[in-house]
């Protein structure tokens, strides 16, 4: 099944519940093979605009070439349209694709997971399926059109889950309406997974990157709850990465600039302080 979705320029959003439950430290115990792809993080644009994209997956598949491929997944989801594009690309691969959920495959990541001919999930891991989330702005006519588009989009997702699992479209749609977390054994029972992943294939690996991902997701959740729009949050995180102060906010306290500009492991100590100052400022303005 090749999914075709017209997005009208929409961007889907992460589920706050999935983001909060996601543990980025859960990874494959062994993954240093030449026929493995890892999907650890946000699908599409993450906090820095550098998440898991079709471009990255396509490059990995071209490097693997005419061989079977294993895709390890631990992701809170993200851009559903990017997820669909990755799903289609994996389905087009000329050799066998196996997908394995280590910790979580939520939303867009659950779509990618379904691309596997063999689909395994750890007994302690979860799939999460739900209706598409988006943030949009416009008049009432635009919103009516958006709602119609999203209804078609959700129907396409329901069809995919049903076709893969053998369950009815109605039962899958109901689970999507409820934003359902499905544990490993239940995923096998439903037919979404073809088997359970061996426990020794999963590990919890704490690294600088996973610690920073935990800090970033906590900051993103807190800022979103405080009412900071997504565009401003992304700008703030971009400034954190470059080591520059926030470019907006009037008298909001700012972190001291640094010379660190690492694309992999920026120092978040000043970032956390600045985020706290911004949140305190927002709380003061709301009184």
Q: State how beta strands 26-28 and 36-40 pair.
A: unpaired
Contact 95, 69 (CB under 8 A): yes
What distance lies between CA 113 and its chain's CA centroid? 12
Active site residue 15: no
Between the two ends of the chain, the Cα-to-Cα distance in Å is: 52
Q: What is the DSSP letter of 33?
A: S
CA 117 to chain centre: 21
Query: Looking at the chain, which runs of residues are DSSP E strands?
Result: 26-28, 36-40, 69-75, 97-106, 118-122, 126-129, 180-183, 195-197, 202-204
Name 5's Cβ contacts closer than 8 Å, sequence gap at least 6: 81, 84, 152, 153, 156
The token pair that represents 263 in the structure block = 């694309």
Counting other chains too, the contacts that 248-257 makes at CB distance below 8 Å and 24 or more residues apart are 249/278, 249/281, 252/277, 252/278, 252/281, 253/277, 253/278, 253/281
Q: Please pick, among 12, 15, 107, 271, the residue that the annotation labels catalytic.
A: 107
Residue found under tokens 């926030």: 246
**Which residue stretches of 54-127 are H helix?**
54-64, 80-92, 108-113
- Per-residue CA distances from 20 to 149, 214, 280 (Å): 28, 9, 21
Helix, strand, coil % in the chain, rounded to nearest 5 = 45, 15, 40
Q: Which residues have a catalytic role annotated?
A: 107
């Amino acid at each position: 099944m090749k999914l075709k979705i017209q997005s009208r320029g929409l961007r889907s959003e992460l589920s706050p519940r999935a983001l909060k439950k996601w543990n980025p430290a859960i990874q494959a115990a062994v993954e240093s093979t030449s026929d493995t792809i890892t999907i650890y993080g946000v699908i599409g644009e993450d906090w820095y605009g550098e998440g898991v994209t079709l471009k990255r997956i396509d490059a990995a598949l071209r490097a693997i070439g005419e061989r079977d491929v294993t895709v390890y997944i631990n992701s809170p989801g993200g851009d559903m349209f990017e997820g669909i594009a990755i799903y289609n690309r994996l389905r087009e691969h000329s050799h066998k694709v196996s997908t394995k959920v280590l910790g979580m495959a939520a939303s867009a990541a659950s779509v990618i997971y379904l691309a596997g001919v063999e689909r395994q999930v750890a007994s302690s891991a979860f799939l999460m399926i739900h209706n598409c989330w988006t943030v949009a702005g416009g008049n009432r006519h635009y919103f009516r059109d958006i709602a119609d588009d999203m209804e078609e989009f959700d129907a396409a997702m329901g069809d995919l889950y049903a076709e893969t699992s053998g369950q009815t479209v109605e039962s899958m749609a109901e689970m999507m309406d409820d934003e359902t977390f499905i544990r490993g054994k239940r995923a096998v029972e439903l037919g979404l997974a073809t088997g359970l992943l061996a426990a020794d294939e999963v590990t919890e690996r704490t690294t600088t990157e996973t610690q920073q991902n935990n800090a970033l997701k906590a900051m993103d959740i807190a800022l979103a709850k405080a009412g900071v729009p997504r565009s401003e949050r992304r700008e703030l995180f971009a400034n954190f990465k470059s080591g520059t102060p926030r470019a907006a906010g009037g008298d909001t306290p700012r972190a001291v600039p640094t010379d660190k500009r690492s694309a992999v492991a920026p120092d978040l100590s000043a970032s956390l302080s600045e985020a706290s100052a911004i949140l305190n400022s927002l709380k003061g303005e709301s009184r």
